Amino acid sequence: MYCPQIADDTFLHFSQRGESYKLRAFNGRLAGKPPWAQKDAPTATDFMHQYRPEITVDVRRERINLKNTERWTDIVADYNRRHGVGA
Task: Quick: pLDDT tens for 44-76.
Answer: 999 999 999 999 999 888 889 999 999 999 999
Q: What is the pLDDT of residue 87?
A: 64
Q: How far is CA 8 from the centre of its chain?
A: 11
Structure pTM? 0.92
State the average pLDDT for the chain. Answer: 95
Element (DSSP H or E) covering residue 48 = helix 44-51
Give the per-residue pLDDT at 60: 84
Looking at per-residue pLDDT, the higher value among 61 and 13 belongs to: 13
